[in-house]
Amino acid sequence: MSATVAQNPQNCIRLKLFHGIVVGMDRYAVFFRRVAAYVLDVTFVLLLLMPVWLWFLHGLTGPKSGVYLLGVSMFLPFMWTGARFFYLVLFWLHRGATLGMRIMGIRVRRADGGPLHGAGAVLRYVGIVLSTATLGIGFLAALFEYRGRALQDVIGGTVVVPAPRRGPT
């Protein structure tokens, strides 16, 4: 279980662990920072939708809970998907990073290094939906790709890189 340092084709040093699983070190974001940012972002969207969830739970205990479940619960997945779409895409386009990514010190860029455009952000979101639908397999691709790109990065033509550090002001 010894670790070796290898140079990839793009001059990006990566730390190779056993069985070819790669964890980023240098020019691309570390997988575990990406996971932590994702968890933070899901938490932020959950908090954003807290009034909706409370309203839904309140309806479950009401006298018309059966009708309520049929009428309202079918819209919750759409509300969740819409809220996540706007949260992720708007932050990627405006700041290059979501709140979770900013906390973890990473950001998303186009594969050529430029800022993300609208179509790339939407395609990246589609990749996140597909990665989630496959129970996370699309996210795990980042462990094996030399630039640490998950399915959403490949689809959106993006990379996740460390955010530039701000010096003292």
Whether the pLDDT of residue 25 is over 50: the answer is no
Q: By the 8 A CB rule, do 131 and 151 touch?
A: yes
Largest CA distance in the chain: 65
Q: What is the pLDDT of residues 107-132, one digit of tens each?
A: 999 999 899 999 999 999 999 999 98
What is the percent of the chain where pLDDT is above 70? Answer: 76
Both tokens of 95, joined, read 């700041």
Residue boundaries of the structural domains of the chain: 28-162
Residue whose entry in the numeric block shows the structure tokens 């550090």: 165
